[in-house]
Amino acid sequence: MCRYLRIQPSGFYAWQKSPLSTRAQEDARQTELIRQAWNDSGKVYGYRKLHDDLLDQGETCCPNRVARLTRLAGIKAQVGYKRRSGSLRGSLPLVAMLLSRVLADFMTAYPDIRLDLASNDRLVDMIDEGFDAVVRTGQPFDSRLMSRTLGHFRLKIVAAPSYLDRHGTPLTPVELRNHHCLRGRSPTTGKV
């Protein structure tokens, strides 16, 4: 170990025996106070509320330090401790199976929310049709709405090996015109 760190063995053992720095001792003390406040809250509070609790106890620390100490200690706010309930109306593309894992996680995290999902590729008017959330591919078409990228995917042209054996493998996109293809129409442009 000493050879790896390029220090003399006597220096390594002296370093190992040295007490923690003042900052490290203060971090350990405040981490214990944070852990105690978190346990008192029923392991619900996040770093903001824990920071308020420390201030109430007369501690002086900034929210960023409390956030860092809670992260290092593995202390997290309980997600959704204010029980949300009701329904969420949404529209998903026909390839919604890509989101099945996310939807299952959402339903587990929020069991009191009922999902009302429509699955289609047509352009929907969120406001007029009363949708709370819509997942679509491509660029947003309505500037009144907020959008966020959930991920990226690429389309692929695929064929069964037996089909290619019978009909040949197309080498260019133009050759696809002579093949039996399942074609989709873009809901935004109308092109096949």
Least confident of 38-47, 56-65, 71-80, 136-145: 136-145
How far apart are alpha carbons 101 and 54 in whole angstroms?
Answer: 38
Q: Find the radius of gyration of the CA atoms of the chain.
A: 28
Please say if the pLDDT value at position 186 is more than 80: no
pLDDT digits (tens, 9 = 90+) for 131-173: 888 887 777 666 677 777 777 777 778 889 999 999 999 988 8
How far apart are alpha carbons 19 and 25 in whole angstroms?
Answer: 9
Using alpha carbons, select from 56, 5, 10, 59 the residue that is nearest to residue 31.
59
Residues 6+ apart with CB under 8 A from 127: 144
Cβ proximity of 31 and 69 under 8 Å: yes
In which band, very low, low, confident or very high, does the pLDDT at 115 lie, cut at 50, 70 and 90?
confident
What pLDDT does residue 97 have? 66
Residues 6+ apart with CB under 8 A from 72: 31
Mean pLDDT, rounded, for 58-77: 86
More confident residue, 77 or 64: 64
